[in-house]
Amino acid sequence: MSETLAPARSLPLTDLSEDEAMFRDQVRQFAEAEVRPHVAQMDKDAQIPRALVDKCFDLGIMGVEIPEKHGGAGATFFMSVLVVEELARVDASVAVLVDVQNTLVNNALLRWGTEEQQARYFPKLASKWVGAYALSEAGSGSDAFALSCRAHDRGDHYELTGRKLWITNAAEAELFIVMATLDPAKGYKGITSFLVERTFPGFTIGKKEDKLGIRASSTCELILEGVRVPKENVLGEVGKGYKIAIETLNEGRIGIGSQMVGVAQGAFEHGLRYSQERQQFGKPIADFQAVQFLLSELATQIEASRLLTYNAARLRDTGASFIKEAAMAKLFASRTAEEVTSKVIEIYGGYGFTREYPVEKYFRDQKVGQIYEGTTNMQLAVIAKQILGKLP
C-alpha cells in the first residue's frame, strides 16, 4: 500500500532567502507530483525511467551551478543541497542521481575545467547528459589512492586501462570523471583526472550491482581496455588528480548529508502521520507520552542534521574552510537517518516490517549514507585531524 502525504511541511525559513525558499518549494512539488508515484516501481525495477531523468533536466536541477551562459541555472552550491534534500524526502535514488551530477561532476568541471572543456560539456550536462565520478576500485575504497587503473602517455593521447567499481550513475552517464595513475612511482602524486565519454573506444559498462537500498540508482563496474583519451581531456593538471578527488569529495559529503536529512525527514513524516492514525488501547498511539517523546527526539535530531548540513553548504559558498563541517554534517546526518528510519518502522509495528508500507524502503536507503563519500570512520578521522590540528 502506498501513502500520499500532503506536501506542506514546516522548515526553518530564517536561513533561506525568498528565492531559495521558492526554489525549494518548486523541487518539493516536482518530487511529489513526478517522483512519488513511481517510487515503489523504480525500487522494484532497480531503474529510474529515462523520462523522469529528462524531467529533472527540464526542471533545471541537473545543472544548478552551471553558468547561465552554458544553459545552467547559475545558482549556488546551497541550492544543490536544497534540491537533494527535497528529492531524498521522497526517493533517495533520484536524489543521488542529481547529487552526483551537481556536487561531484559539475562541481569538478566548474572548479578545474578549462574554458574549452566547460563550453564543450556544460551545455550537455545542463540539458541531457548524466555525469558520473569514477574513483573507487576493488582495492581502493577508503584507501582512495591505491589505484590500479593506469594511464599511459602515447604522445598525442592517453590510454587508460583498468576497472572501476561502485560507480553511481554509470548506467545513465555519458561523461565520466575517471581517476587513473599516470606514474605509479610518484604515489598519489602520479594520479590524474580524465574526462572520458561513454562512446570512447575501449570503454564499456560492466556489471550492475544488485543493492540493498537506493536500488533505482545505478551502481556499476567500468571496464577500460586501452581507452583512447585526447590530451585536451585531462581535467586540471597532470598529477593533480588526488587534489581534485579530495576537494571534490569534501563537497560531495555535504550532498550526502543533505540526502540523509531528506531520507530522515521523509520517514519521519510517515511516522508522524501514522502515529496519529494507529489505534491502540482505544486511542491514537501519538497520545502516549512515550511516542510523543520519541517523535520529539527524532525531530530534534533531524533539525540538528539539517542545520549542520546547511552551515557546511553556506561555508562552502562563501569560500571559507568547510572540511570539518562537511564531515560532521555527513557523520551526524547519516547516523540520524539510521536512527529515524529504524524508529519509524517500530512506530508502524508489524506493518513497518513489510513492503506494503513505504517505511522499510527508507531504512534500506539510509544505510549507504554511512558508506559512500567516505565511511563513518573516515569522517571521524577527518574531524579528528581538523580539531587536533587547531589546538593551541
Read off the pLDDT of residues 59-82 as tens digits, 9 standing for 90 and up. 999 999 999 999 999 999 999 999
Question: What are the residues facing 134 on neighbouring strands?
Answer: 178
pLDDT at 354 over 50: yes
**Residue 191 main-chain phi, psi, to 5 deg:** -85, 135
Half-sphere exposure of 303 (CA within 13 A, CB side): 11
The pLDDT value given to residue 14 = 47
**Would you place residue 392 in the very low, low, confident or very high pLDDT band (cuts 50, 70, 90)?**
low
The pLDDT value given to residue 7 = 39
pLDDT at 13 over 90: no
| Strand, coil or helix: 283 | strand
Active site residue 360: no
Read off the pLDDT of residues 210-248 as tens digits, 9 standing for 90 and up. 999 999 999 999 999 999 999 999 999 999 999 999 999
Host H or E run for residue 252: helix 241-277
Read off the pLDDT of residues 270-302 as tens digits, 9 standing for 90 and up. 999 999 999 999 999 999 999 999 999 999 999
Sequence-distant (≥ 6) Cβ neighbours of residue 23 within 8 angstroms: 75, 79, 82, 83
The pLDDT value given to residue 382 = 95
The answer to whether the CB of 302 falls within 8 A of the CB of 340 is: yes
Pick the catalytic residue: 65, 251, 338, 373?
Answer: 373
| Average pLDDT, rounded, for the chain | 94
Host H or E run for residue 363: helix 359-366
CA distance 217 to 220: 10
**Would you place residue 142 in the very low, low, confident or very high pLDDT band (cuts 50, 70, 90)?**
confident
Sequence-distant (≥ 6) Cβ neighbours of residue 245 within 8 angstroms: 135, 144, 145, 179, 191, 193
Instruction: Please list, residue by residue across 229-265, b when 16 or more beta carbons sit within 10 angstroms of its beta carbon and e when fewer do.
Output: beeebbbbebbbbbbbbeebbbbbbbbbbbbbbbbbb
- Determine the distance from the C-alpha atom of residue 212 to the mean position of all C-alpha atoms in its chain, rounded to a whole number: 16
Instruction: Set out the domains of the chain in order of their start, with CATH numbers.
Output: 18-130 (1.10.540.10), 132-239 (2.40.110.10), 243-388 (1.20.140.10)
